């Protein structure tokens, strides 16, 4: 990766360039012996039962069908903890507001955030507010940091997966990202779509009952399912064979994405996760997910293989095979 020159918007899209920026420019400077892997959520110190995660929310617009930046920040933060095996305990809230942003909109955002936090039993215990001059910000940015208590004892990282493991997706893809895009661009198509942002902990709790048969969990946000599967394959150094027809995608999402020339597998979600479980547990895992409303369209979408390590192959509807690549290019910026 280039380490000089201007940052491009693609560095933030959740695709290949995002990963390179973080893995090549940022992590190497911050990695320590005690924390050789920097992940979405880490123990606050080696061996601690408490995990910490942080996320910036720069979504544009801040209000969109089905959700808003405040609610999104709470669910996003709690979901990062949930897929790391932890139950959220408390949150810190950093707000950066651009001069001229309306106080009443800020009030609505904080109301929504507080409401979402209450719904998932997490308390906002500290915060910070900054104001930047007009033209030097983007309305409102939130950075929320969550503290969670570990409730699943094993790491849910790609390192635990192996050939034969089954890959599940917990729900329909793409509605969140497309609803934001439609709202931002004022598109007539997609106007009926609503973000399905939701807390994932209830689904995770079901899968935690599988014990060591549960190998990996990750919420499919920026870069969508395509990014998660590629990160998983690269970090595990195994291949993934996915079945294109098995991905749950609602008809209206598929139609909207087709018209816009977008791949639903690359669109961000907030309330959909990927799980990897042992072969013998796949049916049980699917039933557990489907026992919840949020998981009723869960599907087994693929298998971990020893072929083509680090790559994601997809068997297509017409019987062929193609690579499902790491998303490249612009995708949808500012959707989380």
Residues 258-297 that bind a second copy (CB under 8 A): none
Residues 11-40 that bind a second copy (CB under 8 A): 11-13, 18, 21-22, 25-26, 29-30, 32, 34-35, 38-40
What would you report as the CA-atom Rg of the chain, rounded to the nearest whole angstrom?
19
Of the candidates 187, 110, 185, 129, the one whose C-alpha atom is nearest the C-alpha of residue 335 is: 185
Handedness of CA 61, 64, 13, 77 (dihedral sign): positive
DSSP codes of every residue in 155-192:
--SGGG--TT-EEEE-S--SHHHHHHHHHHHT-STTTT
Q: According to the binding rule CB under 8 A, does residue 154 interact with a second copy?
A: no
Q: According to the binding rule CB under 8 A, does residue 100 interact with a second copy?
A: yes
Residues 297-336 that bind a second copy (CB under 8 A): 333-334, 336
Could you say which of 83, 96, 116, 226 contacts a second copy (CB under 8 A)? 96
**How many residues interact with a second copy (rule CB under 8 A)?**
83
Residue written as token pair 């005690």: 34
CB-CB neighbours of 94 under 10 Å: 17
Question: Interacting stretch for a second copy, rule CB under 8 A, among 142-150, 157-165, 252-260, 277-285?
Answer: 142-150
DSSP letter assigned to residue 25: I
As measured in angstroms, the least distance from the Cβ of 294 to a second copy is: 24
Could you say which of 15, 16, 36, 44 contacts a second copy (CB under 8 A)? 44
Q: According to the binding rule CB under 8 A, does residue 61 interact with a second copy?
A: no
Question: Interacting stretch for a second copy, rule CB under 8 A, among 52-60, 246-254, 296-304, 318-326?
Answer: 52-60
Q: Which residues contact 318 (CB under 8 A, 6 or more apart)?
A: none
Q: According to the binding rule CB under 8 A, does residue 132 interact with a second copy?
A: yes
């Amino acid at each position: 990766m280039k380490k000089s020159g201007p940052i491009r918007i693609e560095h933030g899209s959740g695709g290949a360039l995002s990963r390179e920026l973080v893995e090549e420019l940022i992590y190497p400077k911050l990695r320590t012996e005690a924390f050789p892997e920097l992940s979405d959520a880490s123990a606050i110190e080696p061996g601690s039962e408490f995990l910490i995660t942080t996320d910036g929310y720069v979504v544009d617009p801040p209000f969109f069908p089905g959700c808003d930046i405040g609610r999104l920040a709470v669910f996003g933060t709690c979901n990062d903890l949930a897929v790391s095996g932890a139950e959220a305990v408390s949150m810190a809230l950093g707000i950066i507001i651009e001069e001229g942003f309306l106080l009443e909109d800020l009030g609505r955002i904080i109301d929504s955030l507080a409401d979402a936090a209450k719904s998932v039993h997490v308390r906002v215990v500290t915060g910070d507010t900054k104001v930047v001059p007009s033209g030097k910000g983007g309305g409102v940015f939130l950075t929320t940091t969550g503290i969670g208590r570990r409730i699943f004892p094993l790491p849910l990282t790609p390192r635990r997966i192996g050939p034969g493991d089954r890959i599940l997706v917990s729900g329909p893809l793409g509605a969140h990202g497309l609803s934001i895009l439609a709202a931002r661009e004022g598109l007539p198509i997609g106007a009926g779509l609503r973000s399905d942002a939701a807390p994932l902990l209830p689904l995770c709790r079901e899968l935690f009952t599988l014990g060591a048969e549960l190998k990996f969990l990750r919420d499919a946000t920026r870069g969508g399912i395509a990014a998660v599967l590629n990160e998983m394959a690269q970090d595990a150094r195994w291949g993934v064979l996915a079945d294109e027809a098995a991905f749950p995608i609602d008809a209206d999402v598929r139609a909207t994405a087709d018209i816009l020339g977008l791949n639903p597998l690359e669109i961000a979600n907030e309330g959909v996760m990927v799980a990897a479980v042992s072969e013998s547990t796949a049916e049980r895992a699917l039933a557990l997910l489907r026992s919840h409303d949020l998981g009723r369209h869960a599907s087994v979408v693929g298998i971990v293989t020893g072929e083509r390590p680090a790559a994601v192959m997809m068997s297509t509807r017409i019987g062929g095979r193609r690579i499902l690549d790491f998303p490249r290019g612009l995708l949808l910026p500012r959707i989380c």
